[in-house]
Structure 1
Amino acid sequence: MNAPAESGTAVPRYCAQPPQTQPVLRPDLNPNRSRAILLVRAKWINGTVLHYAFLDQGGDIGGPEQLDEVRHAFQAWKALGIGLEFQEVADPGDSEIRVLFRESEGSASYVGRDNLGIATNEPTMTFGWDLTTPYGKATALHEIGHVFGFAHEHQNPFAGIVWNEEKVYADLAGPPNNWPHEVTFNNILRKLSQNEVTGSTWDPDSIMEYSFGPGLIVRPEAYRGGIPETLGLSATDKERVLQWYPPLVAQPARLQPFQSAPVQLATGGQANFEIIPPETRSYQVGTFGNSDVVLALFEETADGLRYVTADDDSGQDRNGRLDVKLVKDHRYVARARLYSSWGNGSIALMYW
């Protein structure tokens, strides 16, 4: 996302997304399994409560109104009916998302579950310009899109964009961005693998799309004159976020100890089960079958569901297992998001 160009230049300021982490997969792994893992790896377990904290009160960008725009942006995504929840907390140590306002830092966010690898005293999202303008409001929506696991749309391999690379590097190396070569490559010129992209089309109206001036794009010819500014969520943005984070059912099915529950899911699908243990002791919660799964456990508290533990068995020939102490009559929710299955495709979940 970008801010208005500074006086005397046609180049806007852009979001400088940090490089995403890449999973290390066995070279002999079935290509279909690899593709599924790459497609799902950045996405959160649906139903997760993402806690966000502000590291300052607007920094050198402005005052409390900057914080309000971030709150409004979270609410705009939530209003679509997605299954993720958002909760503001005062202590950054209790948050997954930490917001800093600093002009020198620019605007950026880590992508999806990469946020979990950042130290709790460090920001995961920065804003480098005023969020109260139309451009700024769109920037807040854009950075939260990164939090959900979405990349820059112009890097979609199905866009078919051919760049005037020399001009792109030259324009971004100058003010107001002053980007080094590797930042420009990572945020504009690098094409995503087809394995990382949902669907097979490019959405130039996406909130995850930059605007570009004339002369940077060689093809498609329709965009030689540039890509106009996007100030809101497109129809495709709304469709994609609901695909990954659909509304949750009011009450997940109850899982009984020592009784396996079959799970029928497509790639990226998720199953949710309620657990109310009959006694306080150590339990195992696990999946069975030939599958790559992220398995997570949440406990109901006065403040809502809180994350307890998780296991990711993707790319490994084993099943997910959680070893955890559960308390009698407390309510827990186990959530399993599927990367892929193979063999007969039958999967089950059980606790014992």
Structure 2
Amino acid sequence: MNAQAAQETRVPPYCAQPPQKQPVLRPGLSPHRARAIQLVHAKWVNGTVLHYTFLDEGGDVGGGEQLEEVRNGFQKWKDLGIGLEFEEVGDRAESEIRIVFDTREGSASYVGTEALDIGTDEPTMFFGWKLNSRSGRATALHEIGHAIGFAHEHQNPFAGIVWDEEEVYEELGRPPNEWPREVTFHNILRKLSRNEVTGSTWDPESIMEYGFPAGLILKPQEYRDGIPEPLVLSAHDKENVLRWYPAISARPARIEPFRSTPLSLSSGGQADFEIDPPETRDYKIGTFGSTDVVLVLFEERDGELRYVSAVDDSGEDGNGTLSVKLVKGRRYVARARLYSSWGSGGAALMYW
């Protein structure tokens, strides 16, 4: 590479996703259960209201129009008809997603429910360049995609990408990214486990894909000249998000205390139940059967379902149980999302 070419910036600024945590699974867990847990663990239960807040007014990126582009990004995902809701709030303590603008940080987001592990004084989503352009709007969509549980598409193991690795490290080490090798490896060269992706195909048009210039990809042959930067949600993006978060049209089934209700679900499926406690007291809410389930309880406050408590029994041989005080006259909704069924017999939910 000549000196002039070495000074050229051929790659755009990229999202630098923080290292994603993987669930710690006990030795000897079956491949079926392990795959189901890895696939579902960062997804929100459908019907969750995700509250987002801005920790600054555009920082050094520039002005309130940047905030508006993020709001528009949330709306574009919502307009697909998904079951998630997005609500802007002013109190960071009430938010799951906290957004900052800082050119020193670049753009990134924690993936899905990993945001819950971040302190309420800390951001979970970052924007390091202006969003009021086609590429900037795509960045907003991309980071929101991470926030609702989706990984980088170019790291899909089914892509079959063979990189010119040293060329990738060299390109990403220069401005505007200036990444150390470990960041480049984590965000580009590292392949996801097949347990972390849905289906068996790669979508180069996904909003979760990076655009790449020529000279970084050796195979497949048709991408040696690069991958155009995706600027809009692809057909696969729309299909995938609706698979995980379908529209919720029916009211949750009402259940009575001490009456077991079957859970007839496939992996990734969800059942929702309405609880109207007959008296104010301490209750238990739990699942039964050979299943891995995440169970989340919400209470209706001012017309909105707000998080109360959750239990995740994935990878364990027992079932999770919530112990909570329920108040007569208040409405609660329990949402159970199945990772996997791994034994004989059915599964059920009950409160008592």
Same fold judged by TM-score > 0.5?
yes
Residue number in structure 2 paired with 1:274: 274
1:249: how far off?
A: 2.9
CA distance in 2, matches of 1:8, 1:128: 21
Secondary structure of 1:298 counterpart:
strand
Cα RMSD for the two superposed structures: 0.9
1:119 lines up with 2:119 in the alignment:
yes
Q: Distance in 1 between matches of 2:71 and 2:8?
A: 33
- Counterpart code for 1:70: V
CA contact (8 A) 1:168 1:216 kept: yes
User: How does 1:18-167 map onto structure 2 within 5 Å?
Assistant: 18-167=18-167
1:173-232 residue CA offsets vs partner (Å, 9 max, x unmatched): 111100001100000000000011100000000000000000000000000000001110
The residue number in structure 2 matching 1:299 is 299
Which residue of structure 1 aligns with residue 320 of structure 2? 320
Match of 1:215 in 2: 215
Are the counterparts in 1 of residues 42 and 112 from structure 2 also a CA contact under 8 Å?
A: yes
CA distance in 1, matches of 2:303, 2:114: 25
TM-score of the two chains, using structure 2 as the length reference:
0.97
Contact conserved, 2:298 with 2:307, CA < 8 A, in 1?
A: yes
What secondary structure is seen at the aligned counterpart in 1 of 2:328?
Answer: coil
TM-score, normalised via structure 1 length: 0.97
Q: Secondary structure at the match of 1:325?
A: strand
**Which residue does 2:4 correspond to in 1?**
none
Q: Is the 8 A contact 1:313 1:320 kept in 2?
A: yes
Shift in Å, 1:303: 4.8
Query: Deviation above 6 Å: which 4+ runs of structure 1?
Result: none
Q: Provide the C-alpha distance between the structure 2 equivalents of 1:75 and 1:345, rounded to a whole number of angstroms.
A: 42
Aligned residues of 1:14 and 1:210 also touching (Cα < 8 A): yes
Q: Determine whether 1:171 maps to 2:158.
A: no
Q: CA–CA distance in 1 between the matches of 2:345 and 2:235?
A: 33
SS at match of 1:104: coil
Q: How many residue pairs end up in the alignment?
A: 346
Alignment deviations for residues 43-69 of structure 1 (CA, whole Å, 9 cap, x no partner): 001011100000000001111111111
Q: After superposing the two structures, state which structure 1 stretch, 198-207 or 7-16, moved more.
A: 7-16
Q: Aligned letter for 2:206?
A: S
Secondary structure of the corresponding residue to residue 104 of structure 2: helix
Counterpart of 1:245 in structure 2: which amino acid? Y
Contact 2:52/2:99 (8 A) holds in 1 = yes
Per-residue deviation, 1:345: 4.8
CA distance in 1, matches of 2:208, 2:169: 20
For residue 292 of structure 1, report the CA deviation from its aligned partner: 0.3
For the residue of structure 2 that corresponds to 1:14, the secondary structure is coil
Code of the residue aligned with 2:169 in structure 1: it is: Y
Classify the secondary structure of the residue corresponding to 2:334: strand
CA contact (8 A) 1:212 1:227 kept: yes
How many Å apart are 1:8 and its aligned residue?
4.4
Shift of 1:84: 0.5
Alpha-carbon separation, structure 2, partners of 1:142 and 1:201: 19
Q: Structure 1 residue 111: deviation in Å? A: 0.3
What is the Cα deviation at residue 95 of structure 1?
A: 0.5
Q: Percent identity?
A: 70
Counterpart in the other structure of 2:309: 309
1:344 shift after superposition: 2.0
8 Å contact 1:291–1:345 — kept in the other structure? no
Match of 1:4 in 2: none
Q: Which residue of 2 aligns with 1:251?
A: 251
Task: Mark the runs of 5 or more structure 1 residues left unpaired by the alignment.
Answer: 1-6
Find the counterpart in structure 1 of residue 190 from structure 2: 190
- How far residue 109 of structure 1 moved from its aligned partner, in angstroms, is 0.2
Distance in 1 between the 2:253 and 2:262 partners? Answer: 12
The CA deviation at 1:320 is 1.4
User: CA–CA distance in 1 between the matches of 2:138 and 2:326?
Assistant: 43
Which residue in 1 is equivalent to 2:285?
285
Letter paired with 2:236: T
- Which amino acid letter does the alignment assign opposite residue 51 of structure 2? H
Q: Which amino acid aligns with 1:349?
A: L
Q: Which runs of 5+ in 2 are unaligned?
A: 1-6
Q: In 2, distance between residues paired with 1:219 and 1:241?
A: 28
Aligned amino acid, residue 9 of structure 1: T
Residue 342 of structure 2 is aligned to residue 342 of structure 1: yes
SS at match of 1:103: coil
